[in-house]
């Protein structure tokens, strides 16, 4: 999408600089943006759900494989089957990701459109606009990467927890990931102290009564280790 925007905007900006365009550059570029916005909005509307469903399937497979491996180490051979509870979790994950995928495109299109008009008003040349477009792409790419990491952590946590509850497992130990440049002190402490919590409710990591789960908060890479009664007590 970004490559398409940059390509067509540069072509039409050059027309203005060469005094080829008949309309004002602001009007001309707005028409270009309107066409591009309609095209890419339609494309994202068409593909967002399939992208979200594909990724949710990968998250489910990864979460199930990891949990089965942990249970196997404790002497349990488990094969997961579809359940309404897990299906509900996946539907929620998919619906949230459809909205997020679309929001990335919408915000980028809106930001680029505003940037182009500001560039015209300020009388900037194509080189300056191109640099600004590259900077904007970097911002959008970082936002997309953050959303991807955050959704991966949340989805894996939600699916794993639902599977554990279906198996009758109710307790887990908070495990800090030791990843990230700015770890949350209370998350580090919870991991160090092997904080036990009810996986049906969540953990009071901050001591303020707010119950959360590993991987739920933005940029949280914490995980959990389920407690199998009779083996981990």
Per-residue model confidence as pLDDT tens for the chain (233 residues):
999 999 999 888 887 766 654 457 778 888 999 999 999 999 999 999 999 999 999 999 998 988 888 888 777 888 888 788 889 999 999 999 999 999 999 999 999 999 988 888 888 788 888 899 999 999 999 999 999 988 988 898 889 999 999 888 999 999 998 776 788 999 999 999 999 999 999 999 988 899 999 988 888 888 888 888 766 65
Phi-psi region of 4 (alpha: psi -120 to 50; beta: other; left: phi over 0): alpha
Q: What is the pLDDT of residue 80?
A: 83
Integer Cα distance of 68 and 103 in angstroms: 35
Structural contact between residues 8 and 109, judged by C-beta atoms closer than 8 angstroms: no
Q: Which residues of 72-106 are buried (b: 16+ CB within 10 A; e: fewer)?
A: eeeeeeeebeeeeebeebbeebbeebbebbbebbe
Give the chain's end-to-end CA distance (angstroms, integer).
53
Q: What is the pLDDT of residue 23?
A: 56
Q: What is the pLDDT of residue 97?
A: 94
Q: What is the pLDDT of residue 74?
A: 75
pTM (two decimals) = 0.79
Q: CB under 8 Å to 4, separation ≥6 — which residues?
A: 36, 39, 40
Q: What is the largest CA-CA distance in the chain?
A: 81
């Amino acid at each position: 999408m970004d490559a398409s925007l940059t390509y067509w905007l540069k072509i039409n900006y050059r027309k203005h600089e060469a005094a080829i365009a008949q309309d004002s550059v602001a009007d001309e570029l707005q028409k270009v943006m309107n066409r591009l916005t309609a095209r890419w909005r339609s494309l994202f509307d068409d593909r967002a759900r399939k992208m979200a469903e594909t990724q949710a399937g990968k998250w489910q497979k990864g979460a199930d494989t990891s949990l089965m491996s942990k249970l196997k180490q404790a002497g349990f051979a488990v094969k997961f089957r579809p359940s309404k509870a897990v299906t509900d979790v996946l539907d929620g994950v998919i619906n949230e990701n459809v909205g997020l995928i679309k929001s990335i495109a919408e915000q980028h299109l809106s930001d680029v459109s505003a940037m182009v008009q500001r560039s015209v008003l300020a009388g900037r040349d194509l080189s300056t606009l191109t640099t600004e477009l590259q900077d904007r792409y970097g911002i959008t790419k970082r936002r997309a990467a953050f959303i991807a990491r955050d959704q991966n952590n949340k989805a894996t946590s939600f699916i794993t927890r639902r599977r554990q509850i279906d198996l009758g497992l109710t307790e887990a130990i908070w495990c800090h990931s030791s990843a990230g440049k700015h770890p949350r002190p209370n998350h580090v402490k919870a991991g160090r102290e092997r904080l036990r919590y009810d996986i049906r409710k969540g953990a009071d990591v901050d001591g303020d009564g707010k119950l959360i789960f590993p991987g739920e908060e933005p940029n949280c890479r914490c995980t959990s280790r389920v407690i199998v009664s009779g083996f981990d007590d």
